[in-house]
Amino acid sequence: MDKWFNGFAYDERMSAASPSPSANARSLGAAPGDPPAATAPDPDPAGLTHLDAAGAARMVDVSAKAVTARTAVATGRLHTTAAVVDALRRDGLPKGDALATARLAGIMGAKRTPDLIPLCHPIALHAVAVELAPGTDTVEITATTRTADRTGVEMEALTAVAVAGLALFDMIKALDPAARLDGVRVLHKSGGATGTRNHP
């Protein structure tokens, strides 16, 4: 049965149908006499889950986690000049519609996050929304990402904001080579073991 979260349908059967870690292990079918399977080193005692006790980088094993609905919202700001922002509003840039280009770039960036961030899990993104709001001499960029998976979508939201900002800079750099992108951060996340967190 479909349930709804944040305007998107989520099939609760996904969680029930997901095999347990022990079932996954049985399906691999270790033959009698095979050596014991290698186990990953314990996590770093300092709590950095992407490092083992020896300090080596690793991808965290999330196979035992439950599939849950997860959402993240990230933001960032491009600083430029009032003249450039006015040109953005009028679609008056030599390269064309900069805001539409940046929006699509942000969505594409979110989808390519595991290709850019080495230890980020590839997950099934169910929705990505990128909004660009021109101010007086800034453009506020906000990205919302949603999934039903075993790990969160904060990195996808952050990547969407960063890539949208970079694409926007590329569109305006001929007019303002001193433009800058800053303040990229997570505003909100929900779902998973840590529940909901807000960072206004």
State residue 166 phi and psi, 5-degree precision.
Answer: -65, -40
**Residues facing residue 180 across a β-bridge:** 79
Structure tokens at 76: 């960032």
Catalytic residue from among 42, 44, 170, 182: 170
The answer to whether position 111 is within a domain reads yes
User: Of 71, 139, 143, 150, which is closest to residue 108 (Cα–Cα)?
Assistant: 143
How many other CB atoms are there within 10 angstroms of residue 51's CB atom?
A: 18
The answer to whether position 45 is within a domain reads no
The answer to whether position 4 is within a domain reads no
The answer to whether position 9 is within a domain reads no
Separation CA 36–CA 52 (nearest Å) = 20
User: Of 74, 52, 73, 72, which is closest to residue 61 (Cα–Cα)?
Assistant: 52
Q: What global pTM score does this model have?
A: 0.73
pLDDT of residue 200: 84
Average pLDDT, the chain: 81
The answer to whether position 152 is within a domain reads yes
The answer to whether position 46 is within a domain reads no
Catalytic-residue membership of 61: no
Number of domains in the chain: 1
How many other CB atoms are there within 10 angstroms of residue 162's CB atom?
A: 21
Higher pLDDT, 44 or 71: 71
The answer to whether position 115 is within a domain reads yes
User: Of 78, 113, 79, 72, which is closest to residue 199 (Cα–Cα)?
Assistant: 72
Q: What is the pLDDT of residues 170-191, one digit of tens each?
A: 999 999 999 999 999 999 999 9
CATH classification at residue 93: 3.30.70.640
What is the enclosing helix (H) or strand (E) of 106? helix 98-111
Q: What is the pLDDT of residues 86-97, one digit of tens each?
A: 999 988 788 889
Separation CA 130–CA 121 (nearest Å) = 21
**Residues facing residue 116 across a β-bridge:** none
**120 annotated ligand binder:** yes
**156 annotated ligand binder:** yes
Strand pairing report for 125-134 and 138-149: antiparallel
**119 annotated ligand binder:** yes
Domain that holds residue 141: 68-198
The answer to whether position 124 is within a domain reads yes
pLDDT at 3 exceeding the cut of 50: no
Q: Which amino acid would we find at residue 24?
A: N
